[in-house]
């Protein structure tokens, strides 16, 4: 009986330490992040879309970073293009999200100031049922208590097994430029 109580006590202690650890992690979050992609070709109608409802989470203790965009949230100027994007290319009903998980290399919260610094990001982008490693640089600065992250990277539709029909192939750039702007708050 006494033994049981000791075990229970140890368990309780472990749980409290564990939860304290969880709560102790400092997270900076943006629930209305900005993501844009461009795949325009000269002389043709611009192929670009913006998503202003992207989530981004940065763990400032570890430098771990995650970002999620619901693909239906990408808005095009041309609504027909938006429809094709959702139905034929990205298949948003089957693959509703694009998610990036990675690390900010050598991230140190205390070293941030209002002067932007470049920092390397290394992680994986998953969308359309496929995953691809992404390495890029982002600029980070601290403004009014928030961490502002800006940057971009390129991917190709074939990285994610997205087929572009030959009839529109020359109207869509082979490389897709993705740019991001997050305002992460504690």
Partner 1 sequence: MKYALISLTVLIILSGFVVYEKVFNPEQREISKEPTAFEISADELQFHFADDQETATHKYIDKVIETHGRVTEIGAKTIVLEDRVQVYFLNDLKQALTIGENVNVKGRCVGFDELLLAVKIDQATTIKTN
One-character DSSP codes across 163-184 = PPPTTTGGGEEEEEEEEEEEEE
Integer Rg of the chain from CA:
21
Q: How many CA atoms lie within 13 A of 174 on its CB side?
A: 0
H helices within the chain, ranges in order? 2-24, 79-84
Shortest Cβ 1–partner 1 spacing (Å): 40
Shortest Cβ 70–partner 1 spacing (Å): 4
Q: Which is nearer to partner 1, 81 or 178 (CB)?
A: 81
Q: Are 101 and 66 in contact (CB under 8 A)?
A: yes
Q: Which is nearer to partner 1, 91 or 159 (CB)?
A: 91
Q: Which is nearer to partner 1, 99 or 177 (CB)?
A: 99
Shortest Cβ 5–partner 1 spacing (Å): 36
Q: Which is nearer to partner 1, 86 or 156 (CB)?
A: 86
Q: Are 118 and 136 in contact (CB under 8 A)?
A: no
Shortest Cβ 108–partner 1 spacing (Å): 23
Measured between alpha carbons, how far is 143 from 165 in angstroms, rounded to an integer?
Answer: 44
Query: Which DSSP state fits 15?
Result: H
- Interaction site with partner 1 (CB under 8 A): 31-32, 52-53, 55, 57, 66-68, 70, 72-73, 78-80, 86, 92-93, 96-97, 99
Q: Which is nearer to partner 1, 41 or 154 (CB)?
A: 41
Shortest Cβ 44–partner 1 spacing (Å): 13
């Amino acid at each position: 009986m006494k033994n049981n109580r000791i075990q229970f006590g140890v368990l309780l202690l472990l749980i409290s330490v564990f939860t304290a650890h969880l709560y102790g992690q400092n997270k900076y979050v943006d629930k209305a992040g900005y993501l844009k992609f461009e795949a325009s070709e000269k002389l043709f109608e611009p192929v670009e879309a913006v998503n202003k409802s992207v989530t981004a989470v940065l763990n400032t203790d570890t430098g771990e970073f995650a970002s999620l965009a619901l693909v239906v949230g990408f808005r095009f100027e041309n609504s027909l293009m938006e429809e094709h994007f959702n139905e034929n290319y990205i298949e948003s009903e089957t693959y509703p999200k694009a998610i990036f998980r990675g690390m900010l290399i050598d991230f140190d919260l205390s070293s941030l100031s209002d002067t932007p610094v470049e920092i390397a990001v290394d992680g994986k982008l998953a969308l359309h049922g496929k995953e691809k490693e992404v390495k890029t640089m982002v600029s980070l600065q601290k403004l009014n208590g928030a961490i502002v992250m800006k940057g971009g990277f390129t991917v190709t539709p074939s990285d994610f097994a997205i087929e572009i029909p030959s009839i529109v192939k020359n109207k869509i750039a082979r490389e897709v430029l993705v740019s991001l702007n997050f305002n992460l708050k504690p």
